[in-house]
Amino acid sequence: MGSGIAEVSAKAGYEVVLRSRQQASADAMVASLEKSLGRQVERGKLEEADRDAVLGRVRAVSDLNELAECDLVIESIVEDLEAKKDLFNQLDRICGENAILATNTSTLPVVEMAMETGRPDKVCGVHFFNPAPVMALVEVVRSITSSDETIATARAFAESCGKSPVEVADRAGFIVNALLFPYLNNAVRMLENRVASRDDIDAAMKDGCGFPMGPFALLDLVVLDTSLAILEALYAEFKDANYAAAPALRRMVTANKLGRKTGEGFYDYRKA
Ligand code: 3HC
């Protein structure tokens, strides 16, 4: 997701600092961005000169201090509240006092991250969707501490990247994941209960509802450990049985069958 957000931002003309804890993983994210741009050149969607200009705007770093000059920071680390809180605490000390600190969290409370900083009015959610370069939506999440100015800037940023922002309150799952994940979770239960096969459930939702991909293909795209984390956060907030993760999903995460990321999830991607 980090590489997708960097691609979207650099294509919009922003100077991007792409930071990961390990330089090798920051470099790998740039390599993935380069591959994505390369595909666009091959398909005639992007000029070679524009690809080079986009790549020239992205700098891969490992030192958090390199973010000191950024006007907007979009955190996109693991869905773990303690890790995010710790990062926001550090960012608050490193970044300029007017910088907006945003989170790309799928479900976690934005206010918890905001309250780790001395600028809770300048913290909000900027939530992209997979694959970020393709999906038009950005959810701009308004924490109870976010100022109108912060929300307006976040919206303007999303629009400048060619995205269609919607505004949503700081409740687990926001709009999309609160509605999408009961559906995905119930698809896993349906498979567990042998109501229909994986392929028939995926085909039914594509052909019957016009969805671009069925629930199992989508779970593999989103990645199963992230999906489990999203369901756990939703269940923790609402205690709704629809959010209680299907046991099969949990077993697959334990077995490291995480979807496209590991080459195997509900589908096997290693054969291709
Ligand atoms: N990165 C960049 N571009 C990609 C891409 C990727 N990973 N995957 C596909 N694309 C591009 C292709 O290059 C192509 O571009 P073009 O039209 O300019 O040539 C375009 O997307 C269509 O791709 P394909 O023809 O290869 O394949 P499809 O038409 O089947 O589309 C899809 C692929 C866009 C992934 C489509 O199946 C889709 O929209 N799926 C649903 C995705 C979805 O629901 N996402 C939301 C998940 S929830 C979430 O992200 C929340 C988070 O918090 C977890």
Query: What is the β-pairing status of strands 137-142 and 123-128?
Result: antiparallel
Which pLDDT value is given to residue 272? Answer: 62
Which residue's structure tokens are 């934005």? 110
Closest CA to 74 of 55, 53, 95, 57: 95
The answer to pTM > 0.85 is: yes
Which helix or strand (DSSP H or E) is residue 128 part of?
strand 123-128
Nearest CA to ligand 1 atom 1: 131
Which pLDDT value is given to residue 271? Answer: 73
Which residue's structure tokens are 């069958």? 257
- Give the residue numbers annotated as catalytic, written as ranges: 106, 127, 139, 177
Nearest CA to ligand 1 atom 51: 129
Pocket of ligand 1 (CB under 6 A): 36, 39, 43, 45, 106, 129-131, 133-135, 177, 180, 212-213, 218, 222, 226
Torsion of CA 102, 104, 107, 111, to 10 degrees: -10
Per-residue tens of pLDDT for the chain, all 272 residues: 899 999 999 999 999 999 999 999 999 999 999 999 999 999 999 999 999 999 999 999 999 999 999 999 999 999 999 999 999 999 999 999 999 999 999 999 999 999 999 999 999 999 999 999 999 999 999 999 999 999 999 999 999 999 999 999 999 999 999 999 999 999 999 999 999 999 999 999 999 999 999 999 999 999 999 999 999 999 999 999 999 999 999 999 999 999 999 999 999 999 76
Ligand 1 pocket: which of 35, 126, 134 to mutate (most atoms <8 Å of CB)? 134
CB 115 within 8 A of CB 145: yes
CA atoms of 127 and 79, how far apart (whole Å): 13
